[in-house]
Amino acid sequence: MTRKNIVILTGAGISAESGISTFRDTGGLWENHRLEDVATPEGFEADPHLVHRFYNARRAQLHEVAPNAAHFALAALERAWEGRGDFLLVTQNVDDLHERAGSRRLLHMHGELRRLRCTMCEETHPHAQDAGLELACPACGRAGTMRPDIVWFGEIPYHMDEIGAALGEADIFCAIGTSGLVYPAAGFAAEAVHNRRGCELFEINPNPTGVEVYDHVIAAPATHGMAELLRLLGVED
């Protein structure tokens, strides 16, 4: 059998059926907050307490939610793909539902709620509880320097070299639950199209995104859409 490499990109929509809200679907607000206030370095500078409170609430919510059938189906696809080609899951999500569903080859390009980063030494650390400016950095010992390890608007996403290399070798690309508006992730489908491997492109989204490069658009919520994707790829769930 010819080997085929898969790259999957997920966005906030895959976690919607777990009860975590996306932001484009609620008029551009993220849990009633303006993105400028809670998802930019300027917002953090202006009011670090508000930003910590916001992410503390998002982090606490992780205890109340669980992976849904789409997260589990992606983990099943990864297992089924062993020996058939490379598999990489890239997520824009900062929740931990993919890892809790069993995904292994996973890159969090926008960071993780359950990590903090020191603004002075740049070290990141796992952190599952509430955070605030009173914390000291476990690496450099300075106090008042810890911020959520989230890539905010205007900052450079993580793992871009590794993602770019995987897109260059992808035979199958699938975007799930992402609006196609937030760059650089919004450009991944186009990158895969131009990789000269004849990459086949899939999209799963119940709403039209207006992105026109896809060969197959599965217009369904992620849980149903993933079942259809597995069928199209010939994988038993």
Window 91 to 150, contacts with ligand NAD (CB under 6 A): 92-95, 110
Sign for the pseudo-dihedral over CA of 81, 202, 173, 181 = negative
Would you count residue 175 as binding ligand NAD (CB under 6 A)? Answer: no
Give the Cα separation of 32 and 104 in Å (integer): 33
Among residues 25, 130, 162, 215, which is the contact residue for ligand NAD, using CB under 6 A?
25
The Cβ-side half-sphere exposure at 107, using a 13 Å CA radius, reads 18
* Residue 204, token pair as written in the block: 């799963």
Please check if 3 is assigned to a binding site. Answer: no
Please check if 58 is assigned to a binding site. Answer: yes
Indicate which residue of 71, 108, 110, 127 is catalytic: 110
Would you count residue 16 as binding ligand NAD (CB under 6 A)? Answer: yes
Among residues 189, 209, 214, 226, which is the contact residue for ligand NAD, using CB under 6 A?
209
User: Residue 173: in which H helix or E strand, if any?
Assistant: strand 172-176
Binding segment for ligand NAD (CB under 6 A), chosen from 44-52, 73-81, 86-94, 166-174, is 86-94
Among residues 182, 217, 230, 235, which is the contact residue for ligand NAD, using CB under 6 A?
182
Give the Cα separation of 165 and 217 in Å (integer): 25
* Residue 205, token pair as written in the block: 């989204």
* Residue 135: CB atoms within 10 Å: 18
Please check if 5 is assigned to a binding site. Answer: no
Among residues 17, 37, 86, 123, which is the contact residue for ligand NAD, using CB under 6 A?
17
Please check if 148 is assigned to a binding site. Answer: no
From edge to edge, which strands make up the β-sheet containing 216-218? 106-108, 87-91, 6-10, 172-176, 200-204, 216-218
Question: Binding site for Zn(2+), residues?
Answer: 118, 121, 137, 140
Q: Which residues are annotated as a binding site for substrate?
A: 55, 58
Footprint of ligand NAD (CB under 6 A): 11-17, 20, 22-25, 30, 92-95, 110, 177-179, 181-182, 204-207, 209, 221-222
